[in-house]
Structure formats: structure tokens, C-alpha cells
A and B are shown apart, each in its own frame.
Chain A
Amino acid sequence: MLHLLKIEWLKLKNYRTFWILFILFLISLFGINYITFLVQSNRPQDPMSTALIGAPFQFPEVWHTVTYMSGFLLFIPGVLMIITISNEFAFKTHRQNVIDGQSRTQFIITKMMLATIFAVISTIVVFITALLFGLFEKDSVFSTTGITYILYFFIQAVSYMMVSLLFGLFFRRSGIAIGVYFLYIFLLENLIAGLLDKYANHIGAYLPLKSTNSLIPFPFFRNITSQFYYEPNFTILLVLSAVYLTAYIIVGKRKFETVDL
């Protein structure tokens, strides 16, 4: 295991594009939360709006707010994931790795481990971001209530990474893979979800990536939205997330093990 990851590390260690995007991801994570912070802190400070909006950057809400906002940026490590796999196809190094003595299974499992590591790192960064925002917000007292949102974020992150890996595996070229990936996560899935919600009894939230997104619902105006909008069944969401994740792993593994490289 460690040996395989060491090989992966040798591939990434001196890859500048990767590190630039990674640093931009870190900056963006802070950025998107800070923008949200600025927007909500500009609200009128009367009891009425406070009751409506709550205190999104105080503990315990901060766990919810930060994981929700950060979820929008998961496409960045997703792109990194696509690049790491499509590079192998572009350089034909996936062939060379196998020729040199990696089994096909080892190769694809290593990529999946890398996807998981990307998800872990993203989660750690989001945890730290939430912690910092929570601690620096005035009148905020540290609390671990709602820290499970960090776990939900991790599930969401792993799913995004595995889906990007699949897009890379199936489209092979980074341009088309990233293009279709963006279209899917930003447009297609939302479109299908919208249609399903309208015509098929609100099952839109159970689509592959939607189901993990829905683990962390829209955090603002909770008191109002929860009364008017349909809320998907949380247990089903968790089970489905696990089912989808298993499917990604099986499909990806099968694909790489049987195809002509």
C-alpha cells in the first residue's frame, strides 16, 4: 500500500500545475466562506433578521455553514483528480506502469486511494476553516454539536473524487473529461433533479451526487425553508451515498481491469 502511494507521490511531487491548483483550492475555500461571512455580517442587526438568519458563523452552526459553502468548491480537487488520471492516459504511462510490473488492479486501487486522500485533505482543511471562523466570530463558544457535518462533507468529498476519477477513466482526455464533468455536476444533474422533483415525487435529491450534497442542506433561513420545502429522508440519503460509492469503485475497477490500455 505505502509503496504504491510512494510511487504516486513521486509522480505528483514535482508537478507544478497540480500544486498551483491545490494552493488555489485552499485560498478559494477560505475565500468562499469569507464572502459568505461578509454578506451575512452586513445584515441589519435587529432581532428580527437575527431570528430569521441565525448566526451561521457561530458554533454550532459554523460546522454546517462552512461545510455547505465548501461543498461548492469540491470541483477543484475533482479537476485535480481528473488531471492525475488523464495525464497517465496522455503520456501512456498507465501502460508503462503496468509494463513495469504494476498489476492493473494495483494501478486503479492506487488512484482510488489517491481520491480518498484528496477527500481527507479537503475535509481536514474544511475542518480547520470552520474551526477558525467559529473561534474568531464574536459571541461564539466552541461546541462540537453539529460536527457530524464534517463527516457528511467527507462523504460528499469522497463521492466527488470517485466520480471525477470515473469521468477521467471513461473520457481519458482531460479536456473532454473536465468539460463533461462540469456540465454534469453544475447543470445536468440539477436539471434532472429538478425534473424528478417536479414530476416524480421529489426523488431528485437521490441522484448520485445530489444525494451526498443533500446530506448538508441549505443552512440559511432554516426555520423557514424546512417548513416549505420537501426534505429528503436522511437515512436513505446515507444508504444511497454508500451504495453509489460502492458502485463507483466496482465500475472503475472493472473498467480498468478489462479494457485495452
Chain B
Amino acid sequence: MTPVLSVNQLTKFYGPIRALNGVSFDVPKGSVFGILGPNGSGKTTLLGIVMDVLKQTSGSFQMFGKTPDADTRKHIGTLLETPNFYHYLSGERNLRIAAEIKEKGHEQIDDVLKKVNLYERKGSKFSTYSLGMKQRLAIAAALLGDPDVLMFDEPTNGLDPVGIAEIRNLILQLAAEGKTIIMASHILDEVEKVCTHVAIIQKGDLKTVGTVAEVLSKNADSTNLIEVSADNLEQLLIVVKGFAGVTEAYVQEGFVKVICGQDISARDINRYCFDNGIVLDRLNLKRKSLETTFLEITGKVSER
């Protein structure tokens, strides 16, 4: 089947800074495709090139098997980076402009506003909206014309927890309707909860790509994630890092999370800590999450 989006050796320089480095991947039809990467890794640059607001230095991309033009974009709902609207116009009037450009009828405007819970404030000026409301309006604009492909760049940016849950449910619902969703995010949890596929990019390099299950299993056989805790986490962290075979350790949510080789068991860690004068009060061997895989792939925080 022809991929919805196919990028081929995309490279982008901003002056001397390389934002994308020969990135290639395909987005299959009907997938929820997460582009995951730390801030500044090139996610927005990638989507910007695909939407023709940025020009690539080299490489190419295709949508539905052909080089896209302005008309192709009319059938894609896109939220790129920030909600971009005329501040002096109401939410509704802004959507009229979007609908007019997309050549979709105005009669859908109320529907999409209701979908994102903004209907009551449709007459207020955009400049009076909160960050979350602006984000909702941008999502509403993307939904105009019921497009088959949606591109969301950090869709839950600025939303409160309830809003985040709503938007996630909306994305899942859209996916269930068979729409293809391409979503850039730096929030692992978000990608893990809604995506079927994931591409991880870092500093413009594509690190890995595939279904979420593939990406997890690709790295799953080589490492374990063990959670440990003790009275003194800092000391524990230093000790654990000194253990041969530990590839990465960091403190999170009151635990020291240890990523280590498959050959190291919870028992080994326990003994090693005890030998070094630390008595563990918690010890968990965790199922691997996308988060640990992500951290392994992208390296330590300081290296990002």
C-alpha cells in the first residue's frame, strides 16, 4: 500500500546548524505515527518541510505517492508548533478564513468547535483565549473538512490534565475512524499511549523507526530495567553507577532506575548494593517501556 507520507534522505541546515540529517521513513496508512525526540531534535523542522513552510537543503518527500502541492495540503489537518491565528478576530472568524482557504464549507465550523469544547467562546477574540484554548482552536482548525490525514506537532502543549486526556481521546477516536495521524512529541508517555508507530530522532538523526512493539522488542532482549530505592538515593545512584554492566542509572519518582545488561539480575544488584553498604528497601524488575528505550537510544540527558 502506498504510504501516506514517505520522506527520503531529508537534510536541513539552518546556516551552519544541521537540523535534519538524511532522515528517511514511511508513514503507513491508518497508523498513528509518533515522531519522538527531545526539544530541538528536528521534529518541527521535519513537519515544516513536509508542509512547505520550510525548504529542505536536500532530500525529498512524497505524500500518497506523489510530490505534494498546495491542494494536497487542503486535505491534511495540521497543527504546526504554535496556534497561528489573527489575534484581532474571534475564534469563529479565524476558522472561517481557514475553511475558506481549505475550500471547505462554513457549516462545519460549529461542529469542530464543539468537538474541542470551544463552542461557547467562539465569538471571543483570539487574543483573549488562554494558551489551552488557543491550542484547542488550532486542533479545531485541523479537523475542518474531516481530513483523512492529520499532523499534530505537540498537540497537548499548554493544556491542563483534563484537556490532555480529552485530546488524547480525540486522537484515539480519530485513529479508530481509520485516519492517519502523524504526531510529533517530546512526551514519551503521550506517544506510548496513543501511537502505533514511532520514529525517534535526536539532533536531526533518525535513531530508530518501526511499530512501537518493534522498537521496544528491538532493544528489549539486550537490557533490563530495575527500579531500586534506599534511604539515601544520591549515594545509591553513585554506587549503582559503579557497577560493571550498568549502562545508565538515574533518579526518578523516588527510585533509582537502573538500565543494565540482560545478564544482570535483580539479585546481582541487590548483592552489589549490600556489599557496598547500602540496604535496599525496594527492588523491582520492570517491563521495559518506551521511556527506557528512548533514554537508551538518545543517551544521557546531558548528551541530548
Contacts and interface: CB of A to CB of B under 8 A. Distances in A.
Given A99-B53, A99-B80, A7 B86 contact: no
Contacts of B14: 260
Contacts of A95: 53, 80, 84
A226 interface: no
A10 B73 CA distance: 21
A46 to B, nearest CB: 56
A10 B100 contact: yes
B268 to A, nearest CB: 52
Given A14-B89, A93-B85, A99 B73 contact: yes
Interface string B60-83: 000000000111011100101010
Nearest to B88: A15
A100 B73 contact: yes
B70 A106 contact: yes
A14 B93 contact: yes
B51 interface: yes
A16 B84 contact: no
A6 B69 contact: no
A87 B103 CA distance: 23
Contacts of A14: 88-89, 93
Measured as residues with beta carbon below 8 angstroms from the partner, the interface class of chain B is 20 to 34
A92 interface: yes
6 contacts: A3-B100, A93-B86, A95-B53, A100-B73, A104-B52, A260-B48
Given A11-B97, A261-B53, A101 B103 contact: yes
A93 B97 CA distance: 10
B87 interface: yes
A49 interface: no
Interface string B89-118: 100010011101111000000000000000
A-side interface size class: 20 to 34
A16 to B, nearest CB: 7
B54 interface: yes
B73 A6 contact: no
Interface of B: 14, 48, 51-55, 69-71, 73-75, 78, 80, 82, 84-89, 93, 96-98, 100-103, 141
A260 B54 contact: yes
Contacts of B51: 98-99
B97 A10 contact: yes
A103 B98 CA distance: 14
A144 interface: no
A97 interface: yes
Residue among B87, B93, B100, B103 with most chain A CB within 10 A: B100
Interface in A96-118: 96-104, 106
Nearest to B99: A100
A220 to B, nearest CB: 43
Contacts of A259: 55
Given A6-B100, A14-B93, A100-B102, A258 B55 contact: yes
Contact of B97 (A7, A104, A260, A261): A7
A213 B42 CA distance: 49
Contacts of B73: 98-101
A107 to B, nearest CB: 9
